[in-house]
Structure 1
Amino acid sequence: MSIALFVLRRLGRGVFTIWFAVTVTFLLLRLLPGDPALAVASPNMTEETRAALLTQYGLDQPLIIQYFIYLGRLVTGDLGTSFTQSIPVVDVLLQRLPWTLVLTASALVLTVLLGIPLGVLAASRRGKAMDRFVQILGVTGQSLFVPSVGIALLLLFGLWLRWLPIGGAYDDAVYGVAWYGSVLQHLLLPALSLTLIQLGSYVLTVRATLIDALGDDYVTLAKANGLSPRRILWKHALRNALLPATTLIGLQLGFLVGGAVLTETVFAYPGIGRGIYEAVTQLDFPVLQGAFLLLAVTVVVANMLTDIVYGFLDPRVKTA
């Protein structure tokens, strides 16, 4: 299969996935209990004013008409207007997106920086106490629940020890360098929560792939040539073992985005996830649809790029 056809197939699959996510989200939101008209119209309004508002937001149309109107606006980049804030959904998302990007990027970097050394440590001591300890940590990390971890960290470091803030993204009335320090302090607990959730699977993946790499013929040849075990481990075996681990980073981005929704809710962090929680409680359909679309596009693009990069790194994928 040619590289161009390989990329086109991945792009086509990504576009279909985004359309499917948009459609499912649109339909599921309409199944939520409650009347979205209450978010737009006040009980004290006259019937004429209420009807005009519902017409303005398209809530008086049949469901199928609302769906095609939504798709038509979506193609032009119009995500609608927030029911509760009366501003474009794009503006609502742009206000929150930087915080979610900072949170997920921090968690991803921490996962890699901690996961690779722990995976190498376990693989290089296979069958020993350190290896078993790392495996236990990895399996335990995979079984953790995001809100439980967040609440535990919040109680320990925020309420009992009082080392770190328990919510928000920064302190009010703080400026200059102190503002960046405040942002970092507020970021630590949410980022650590996401890292602990993702770290287990990443460590176990690095360990497993590195053990396989250490059993390959080129490692035996390197040993026969007198290379030091440290050089073989870090320069030769780890380089090949990191290919699946690199792919896992892209796949984990989807889990990080999903985990950010829960983490931001626990820590009242003003990102997209917190915005989704607030929009659900207010039945703000346009904000929910825009947020889910943004998350879906992020996950699909990350997985698609990972798939394409893996195809370039490993030509066997393109011919599979």
Structure 2
Amino acid sequence: MSIALFVLRRLGRGILTIWFAVTVTFLLLRLLPGDPALAVASPNMTEEARATLLQQYGLDQPLLTQYVLYLGRLFQGDLGTSFTQSIPVLDVLMERLPWTLLLTATALVLTVVIGIPLGVLAASHKGAFLDRFVQIVGVTGQSLFVPSVGIVLLLVFGLNLGWFPIGGAYTDGVYGGEWYVSVLTHLVLPALSLTLIQLGSYVLTMRATLIDALGDDYVTLAKANGLSPRRILWKHALRNALLPATTLIGLQLGFLVGGAVLTETVFAYPGIGRGIYEAVTQLDFPVLQGAFLLLAVTVVAANTLTDITYGFLDPRVKTS
């Protein structure tokens, strides 16, 4: 398979996935209990004024017509107008997006920086107490529930010890260097919560792939040539073990995005996830649709880029 065809196929799958996500989101939101008209129309309005307002937002149209009009606006880059805030959805999302990017990027970096050494440590001591301990920690991490971890961290380090703030993204009324310190201190608990959730699967994957790499023939040859175990582990085996770990980074982004919705809600962090929670309670369809579209594009783009990158790192993928 040529490189161009390989890339085009991956991009085509990504676009199809985004369309599917947009369609499912549009239909599911219409199944939510409650009347979305209440978000834009006051109960004290006259019927004529109410009908005019619903017509302005397209809520008086049949479902299929609303769907076609929605897709048409999407192709023009128009995500609609928020029911409750009466401002473009894009403005609402762009105000919250930097906080979600900061949270997920921090959690992802911490997961990789901590996960790789732990995985290497467990693989290099296979069968020993240290290996078993790391495996227990990894399995425990996989079974944790995001809100539960967040609530425990809030109770211990926020309320009881008072080491970190218990909500928000920064302290009001501070500027300059103090503002950046405030942002970092508010970031610690949400980022730690997401990291603890993702760390287990990354450590276990890193351990398993590295153990497989250490059993390959080139490792045996390297030992026969007199290379030190440390050099074989870090320079040769780890390089091949990082290929599956690279794929996992892209896949984990999807879990991080999903976990961010719950984490931001627990910590009242003003990102996209918190915005989704607020939009659900207010039946703000345009904001929900825009937020889910943004998250879907982010996850699909990351997975597609990871897939393409892995194809270049391992030529066998392009020919399979």
**What is the TM-score of this pair, normalised by structure 2?**
0.99
Q: Tell me which residue corresponds to 2:134.
A: 134
Instruction: For 1:290 and 1:213, locate their aligned partners in 2 and report how far apart those are by CA, in whole Å.
Output: 43
- C-alpha displacement of 1:83: 0.2
- C-alpha displacement of 1:58: 0.2
- C-alpha displacement of 1:218: 1.1
Letter aligned with residue 271 of structure 2 = G
> After superposition, what is the alpha-carbon deviation per residue over 1:87-108, rounded to whole angstroms, capped at 9, x for unaligned?
0000000000000000000000
- C-alpha displacement of 1:46: 1.4
- C-alpha displacement of 1:132: 0.1
Structure 1: give runs of 5+ residues left out of the alignment: none
Query: How do residues 19-30 of structure 1 correspond to structure 2 at under 5 angstroms?
Result: 19-30=19-30
Query: How do residues 300-315 of structure 1 correspond to structure 2 at under 5 angstroms?
Result: 300-315=300-315
Q: Tell me which residue corresponds to 2:104.
A: 104
- C-alpha displacement of 1:44: 1.1
Q: Tell me which residue corresponds to 1:45.
A: 45
Q: Tell me which residue corresponds to 2:61.
A: 61
> After superposition, what is the alpha-carbon deviation per residue over 1:43-91, rounded to whole angstroms, capped at 9, x for unaligned?
1111111111100000000111000000000000000000000000000
Instruction: For 1:64 and 1:215, locate their aligned partners in 2 and report how far apart those are by CA, in whole Å.
Output: 57
Query: How do residues 125-164 of structure 1 correspond to structure 2 at under 5 angstroms?
Result: 125-164=125-164
Establish whether residue 74 from structure 1 lines up as the match of residue 74 from structure 2: yes
- C-alpha displacement of 1:3: 0.7
Classify the secondary structure of the residue corresponding to 1:162. coil
> After superposition, what is the alpha-carbon deviation per residue over 1:111-157, rounded to whole angstroms, capped at 9, x for unaligned?
00100000000000000000000000000001111101111111110
Letter aligned with residue 60 of structure 2 = D
218-227 or 239-248, which moves further after superposition? 218-227
Letter aligned with residue 286 of structure 1 = P
Instruction: For 2:46 and 2:180, locate their aligned partners in 1 and report how far apart those are by CA, in whole Å.
Output: 49
Instruction: For 2:13 and 2:180, locate their aligned partners in 1 and report how far apart those are by CA, in whole Å.
Output: 40
How many residue pairs get aligned? The number is: 320
- C-alpha displacement of 1:36: 0.3
Establish whether residue 179 from structure 1 lines up as the match of residue 187 from structure 2: no
Classify the secondary structure of the residue corresponding to 1:172. coil
- C-alpha displacement of 1:222: 1.2
Instruction: For 1:225 and 1:145, locate their aligned partners in 2 and report how far apart those are by CA, in whole Å.
Output: 48
Establish whether residue 88 from structure 1 lines up as the match of residue 88 from structure 2: yes
Instruction: For 1:79 and 1:46, locate their aligned partners in 2 and report how far apart those are by CA, in whole Å.
Output: 28
**What is the TM-score of this pair, normalised by structure 1?**
0.99
Instruction: For 2:291 and 2:55, locate their aligned partners in 1 and report how far apart those are by CA, in whole Å.
Output: 23
- C-alpha displacement of 1:319: 1.0
Query: How do residues 162-201 of structure 1 correspond to structure 2 at under 5 angstroms?
Result: 162-201=162-201
- C-alpha displacement of 1:35: 0.4
- C-alpha displacement of 1:224: 1.4
Establish whether residue 249 from structure 1 lines up as the match of residue 260 from structure 2: no
Instruction: For 2:15 and 2:125, locate their aligned partners in 1 and report how far apart those are by CA, in whole Å.
Output: 44
Q: Tell me which residue corresponds to 1:211.
A: 211
> After superposition, what is the alpha-carbon deviation per residue over 1:165-196, rounded to whole angstroms, capped at 9, x for unaligned?
00000000010011000000000000000000
- C-alpha displacement of 1:217: 1.1
Instruction: For 1:233 and 1:127, locate their aligned partners in 2 and report how far apart those are by CA, in whole Å.
Output: 17
Q: Tell me which residue corresponds to 1:232.
A: 232
Classify the secondary structure of the residue corresponding to 1:98. helix
> After superposition, what is the alpha-carbon deviation per residue over 1:210-230, rounded to whole angstroms, capped at 9, x for unaligned?
001111111111111111111
> After superposition, what is the alpha-carbon deviation per residue over 1:272-294, rounded to whole angstroms, capped at 9, x for unaligned?
00000000000000000000000
Over 2 Å off, 4+ runs: none
> After superposition, what is the alpha-carbon deviation per residue over 1:235-271, rounded to whole angstroms, capped at 9, x for unaligned?
1111110110011000000000000000000000000
Instruction: For 1:315 and 1:287, locate their aligned partners in 2 and report how far apart those are by CA, in whole Å.
Output: 42
Letter aligned with residue 3 of structure 2 = I
**Root mean square deviation, CA, Å:** 0.5
Instruction: For 1:285 and 1:267, locate their aligned partners in 2 and report how far apart those are by CA, in whole Å.
Output: 24
Instruction: For 1:239 and 1:224, locate their aligned partners in 2 and report how far apart those are by CA, in whole Å.
Output: 19
Structure 2: give runs of 5+ residues left out of the alignment: none
Letter aligned with residue 194 of structure 2 = L
- C-alpha displacement of 1:26: 0.3
